[in-house]
Amino acid sequence: MALLQIAEPGMSTAPHQHRLAVGIDLGTTNSLVATVRNGVAVVLNDARGHGLLPSVVRYRADGGVDVGHAALARAAEDPHNTIVSVKRFMGRGLRDLPDLATLPYQFVDAPGMVRLRTVAGEKSPVEVSAEILKVLKARGEAALGGELVGAVITVPAYFDDAQRQATKDAARLAGLNVLRLLNEPTAAAIAYGLDNAAEGIYAVYDLGGGTFDLSILKLTRGVFEVLATHGDSALGGDDFDRRIYCWILEQAQLHTVDDHDKAMLMAKAREAKEYLSDHDEARITALLASGQVIDLLLSETTFNDLTASLVNKTLTPCRKALRDAGLRVQDVKGVVMVGGATRVPRIQAAVGEFFGQMPLTNLDPDKVVALGAAMQADVLAGNKSGDDWLLLDVVPLSLGLETMGGLVEKIIPRNSTIPTARAQEFTTFKDGQTAMSIHVVQGERELVADCRSLARFELRGIPPMVAGAARVRVTFQVDADGLLSVTARETGTGIEAGITVKPSYGLSDDEVAAMLRASYEYAQDDMAARNLAEARVDARRLVEATQAALAENGDALLSTEERAALEKLVAALDNALAGDDLAALKRASDALNHGTVEFAARRMNLSVRKALTGHRLDELEI
């Protein structure tokens, strides 16, 4: 029997229509799933009472997959097949990965993103991440007693487009409907801000296992506005471990280390770092495969010396973000610390020194991101009226195009509030040119070679003209997930040739579908059932949303005939929902979607007019 949760006033759902939604912090070291239950955000534990799921996936020779503690426990024993910190490889090519030498994996260079060779075959980081997400999804469903309508998944604010797209693909592969990709520091700000009724300028210092973000937010009356974000998507707690690891090698005069010892010593290094959070020194003991015994004493002072340059490296983004926001250190009212690595006393001291105030540590740095994501998921799923708060986030890195001479022309500057769009016109440089190649890049540097290449595509079918006569309009659109799509269109002659690309580094829709098919869980029948189930969820949501809209503004905005036509489309979709013909369901959904366009436009116009009414009155008073 289903158990009931207390709903927000007026937000009770019909039986079997609970909009169960979760927030997922897909971390480098640990992952968590949280939800809002009875009005309160809580982290969901597994059956053993663990909230944190180690982000570790082990592929076994028998075809099985272990995730979490079970996988972590075998990391030293089975290093090639036990993938730790997979987040570092998301959306990355082989040449983007530093510290290859300290990693025990067998990498396969593949276009766009590396792959890892395991006993279960070559795995993309997207597939590995999907294994973690599947476990969290199952945990959420067990704890909430039903299927999830969707999840908010957090990503480092400084993740580029490739890394975001890879994360979204992993979620799709795990069978999760992504309500939104949310930046980790923003999620933390929601959890902190709502709990403490914070107002003013806040900095969120988020040092995760493998990524560092610094976001500056302005909190006013329930609006969380990100003013600037900076970071380093290849700097995190792992690097502190690696420094200790290298120190161990040096002290013990080890020159070659096999992969087992490597994984074991990395684990010892991490333990030592954590131990030093509350102690002056940590003892590191280990027995190597060679029989050599390691017994070392690491003092806090030595640890601080080893990692001083890493701590300093985090302060540069602090400076840059403040400058981009046009603010000074004195303007910052509070500094929220996020990520397990911020427990390191030297980091807290350095951040305190930089901002001239002790950072806020009154919340659990491991959980705050998941809790904020859960709160946002609750709003996006429609369980809250949504008037309580509004998020305005930004693009972390400039987006641009390659122009002549390998230079970058920026189209969307970093820290633009999303969603955003910009268009730029280009022209042909040769007589009779009928195609133009377009190379989309992300980054701040002037040379294409120094930026991240996101996609290349060709616009064909330009009518042959003299050089400079054709006009090609390239439009960049970044959506609310921070994901880019690019359109190019030849407009000079009125003949339009358009193409929309999803940048090509990630996985194509076909590839994701193929992976889904290949996964043993989804046999052909299951696939069809799953498609139908997904279409049903979408259709039901559409019926519900249209009915709500009709009830709210139907009389005011529609003529009797228009209303009757829409109601007919709703009834037709309702009818299709009763059967199990996928094609009929899709047709009825498309028809209703198409039919509501004009009504939706009128509703939006009304909303904007409503929002301004207050200001018009202001004017009258003046």
Partner 1 sequence: MDFSQNHFALFGLPIAFELDAERLERAYRDIQAQIHPDRFAHAGEAEQRLSMQWATRVNEAYQTLRKPFERARYLLQLNGVDALDPRDTSMPPDFLMRQMEWREALADAGGDSGALARLEDELRAHAAELRAELAQQIDRRRDWPAAAATLRKLRFMDKLLEEIEAAYEQ
Partner 2 sequence: MPVTLSERAATHVKNFLAKRGKGIGLKLGVRTSGCSGMAYKLEFADAEDPEDLKFESHGVTVYIDPKSLSYLEGTELDFVREGLNEGFKFNNPNVKSQCGCGESFNV
Binding region for partner 1 (CB under 8 A): 19, 149, 179-180, 220, 223, 323, 376, 379-382, 386-387, 390-392, 416-421, 477, 479-480, 541-542, 545-546, 549, 592-594, 596-597, 599-601, 603-605, 607-608, 610-612, 614-616, 618-619
Minimum distance, C-beta of residue 554 to partner 1, in the bound complex (Å): 14
Active-site annotation holder among 46, 131, 160, 184: 184
Order across the sheet with 484-490: list the strands.
420-427, 471-478, 484-490, 498-501
Of partner 2, partner 1, none, which one sits near residue 278, judging by CB under 5 to 8 A according to partner kind?
Answer: none
Minimum distance, C-beta of residue 267 to partner 1, in the bound complex (Å): 38
In the complex with partner 2, which residue's Cβ is closer, 385 or 508? 385
404 touches 451 (CB < 8 A): no
From 158, 221, 599, select the one nearest 397 (Cα to Cα).
158
Active-site annotation holder among 87, 134, 367, 384: 87
Concerning whether 206 is annotated as a catalytic residue, the answer is yes
- 283-342 positions binding partner 2, by CB under 8 A: none
Minimum distance, C-beta of residue 56 to partner 1, in the bound complex (Å): 31
Active-site annotation holder among 66, 78, 206, 238: 206
Concerning whether 87 is annotated as a catalytic residue, the answer is yes
From 557, 540, 559, 539, select the one nearest 609 (Cα to Cα).
557
Return the SS3 of 91: coil
Of partner 2, partner 1, none, which one sits near residue 414, judging by CB under 5 to 8 A according to partner kind?
Answer: none
Minimum distance, C-beta of residue 7 to partner 2, in the bound complex (Å): 5
Beta-sheet pairing, 40-43 with 30-37: antiparallel
Q: How far is CA 18 from the centre of its chain?
A: 25
Exposure of 610 by Cβ count < 10 A (0-12 exposed, 13-18 middle, 19+ buried)?
exposed
> What is the C-alpha to C-alpha distance for residues 114 and 466, in angstroms, rounded to an integer?
43
* List 34, 44, 53, 550, residue binding partner 2 (CB under 8 A): 44
Of partner 2, partner 1, none, which one sits near residue 60, judging by CB under 5 to 8 A according to partner kind?
Answer: none
Exposure of 521 by Cβ count < 10 A (0-12 exposed, 13-18 middle, 19+ buried)?
exposed
In the complex with partner 2, which residue's Cβ is closer, 1 or 617? 1
> What is the C-alpha to C-alpha distance for residues 137 and 53, in angstroms, rounded to an integer?
12
In the complex with partner 2, which residue's Cβ is closer, 143 or 254? 143
What is the dihedral sign for C-alpha 273, 277, 280, 282? negative
Of partner 1, partner 2, none, which one sits near residue 44, judging by CB under 5 to 8 A according to partner kind?
Answer: partner 2
Kindly state the greatest CA–CA separation across the chain.
86
DSSP bridge partners of 216: 203, 228
User: Is the peptide bond preceding residue 419 cis, with omega within 30 degrees of 0?
Assistant: yes
Minimum distance, C-beta of residue 37 to partner 2, in the bound complex (Å): 8
* List 144, 214, 216, 310, residue binding partner 2 (CB under 8 A): 144
Minimum distance, C-beta of residue 195 to partner 2, in the bound complex (Å): 8
The per-residue DSSP string of 37-51 comes to ETTEEEEPP-TTS--
Concerning whether 367 is annotated as a catalytic residue, the answer is no
Which alpha helices (DSSP H) does 103-146 contain, by range? 125-144
* List 115, 139, 440, 519, residue binding partner 2 (CB under 8 A): 139
Active-site annotation holder among 25, 161, 378, 402: 25
In the complex with partner 2, which residue's Cβ is closer, 16 or 255? 16
* List 61, 119, 142, 466, residue binding partner 2 (CB under 8 A): 142
390 touches 431 (CB < 8 A): no
Is 145 one of the binding residues for partner 2 (CB under 8 A)? yes
> What is the C-alpha to C-alpha distance for residues 576 and 569, in angstroms, rounded to an integer?
11
Amino acid at 256: T
Q: Kindly give, in sequence order, each residue whose CB lies less than 8 Å from that of residue 564, ignoring residues fewer than 6 positions away.
A: none
Minimum distance, C-beta of residue 47 to partner 2, in the bound complex (Å): 6
In the complex with partner 1, which residue's Cβ is closer, 389 or 457? 389
Of partner 2, partner 1, none, which one sits near residue 533, judging by CB under 5 to 8 A according to partner kind?
Answer: none
> What is the C-alpha to C-alpha distance for residues 514 and 44, in angstroms, rounded to an integer?
31
Of partner 1, partner 2, none, which one sits near residue 10, judging by CB under 5 to 8 A according to partner kind?
Answer: partner 2
Length of the chain: 622
Q: Where are the beta strands (DSSP E) in 245-292?
A: 281-287
Q: Kindly give, in sequence order, each residue whose CB lies less than 8 Å from that of residue 188, ignoring residues fewer than 6 positions away.
A: 204, 206, 336, 338, 368, 369, 372
In the complex with partner 1, which residue's Cβ is closer, 421 or 527? 421
In the complex with partner 2, which residue's Cβ is closer, 41 or 344? 41
Owner of token pair 């210092």: 205
Minimum distance, C-beta of residue 38 to partner 2, in the bound complex (Å): 4
Backbone angles phi, psi at 506, to 5 degrees: -75, -150
In the complex with partner 2, which residue's Cβ is closer, 2 or 423? 2
Q: What track of x and - describes contact with partner 2 for positions 4 through 43 (by CB under 8 A)?
A: xxxxxxxxx-xxx--------------------xxxx---
Is 143 one of the binding residues for partner 2 (CB under 8 A)? yes
Of partner 1, partner 2, none, which one sits near residue 16, judging by CB under 5 to 8 A according to partner kind?
Answer: partner 2
In the complex with partner 2, which residue's Cβ is closer, 9 or 614? 9
> What is the C-alpha to C-alpha distance for residues 85 and 83, in angstroms, rounded to an integer?
7
Size of the residue set binding partner 2 (CB under 8 A): 28
Beta-sheet pairing, 65-67 with 56-59: antiparallel
Catalytic residues: 25, 87, 184, 206
Contact residues toward partner 2 (CB under 8 A) are 1-12, 14-16, 37-40, 44-47, 139, 142-145
